[in-house]
Amino acid sequence: MSDLTVEAIHTAYGLSQALFGVSIEVRQGECVALIGRNGVGKTTTMRSIMGLTPPRQGRVMWKGRDIAHLPPYKICQMGIGFVPEDRRIFPELSVWENLDIARRRGTGGKAVWSEPEVFALFPDLAEIRGRRGGVLSGGQQQMLTIARTLMGNPELLLLDEPAEGLAPLIVEHLRDTVAHLKATGLSIVLAEQNLEFVLSLADRVYILEKGEVRYTGTPSELRANQDIVKQHLTV
């Protein structure tokens, strides 16, 4: 069964069209990756799913219902959580306060994630729970952004370029964290340019170019197809 089916969406910013008939599918518990160079439409696909930039054509089916024209807060309440690329930590609030304001029961009243679970997953955040968001390192901010989204108890997590700008050791730690989340049964859509990061986590990969899906395959199919990788991913 497919949890999320994006069906031929067209999305534009004003007169500038960014997506031209993008279709993707995410089954329950799957990690699906969107890859491609800057500006191909990865973020826009996530913003379309989240209702932040609603598609002008096409459907976004979530558990059998078209959510394409619902407001973002409704989509969030229905169990989809978005971790944006620019992180949007509240700089004046402490780590703990950043988490506390995001607290929400999940769909069906489930609250799998609250502070103890989140701090067990991110022990580094527990140690700095009183520190202001504005003074955290890039890695700490990325962990806090994911932790904050988990406090909303999503069933599907949209992760936009989580590894961007992080040191290799932190990326490794992040990889383990995302693998752990996947093992808990969370469905994940991951937009990322770090190919090794993607290939070690994803069940399936979509390569985007100029607002269209150009290739779909498993990580092993992609590893075996270096031409495709070179064509779409080397800058």
Residue 91 CB: number of other CB atoms within 10 A?
A: 12
171 Rama sector, left if φ>0, alpha if ψ -120 to 50, beta otherwise? alpha
Candidate list 22, 26, 31, 40; residue touching ligand ATP; CB under 6 A = 40
Shortest Cβ 194–ligand ATP spacing (Å) = 12
42 sits near ligand ATP (criterion: CB under 6 A): yes
d(CA 89, CA 64): 33
The interface region with ligand ATP, picked from 35-43, 125-133, 149-157, 214-222 by CB under 6 A, is 35-43
The interface region with ligand ATP, picked from 37-45, 104-112, 182-190, 227-235 by CB under 6 A, is 37-45
101 sits near ligand ATP (criterion: CB under 6 A): no
Count of residues that interact with ligand ATP, criterion CB under 6 A: 12
Candidate list 15, 16, 120, 227; residue touching ligand ATP; CB under 6 A = 16
Site map for ligand ATP, 43-82, x if CB under 6 A? xx--------------------------------------
The interface region with ligand ATP, picked from 31-39, 147-155, 182-190, 225-233 by CB under 6 A, is 31-39
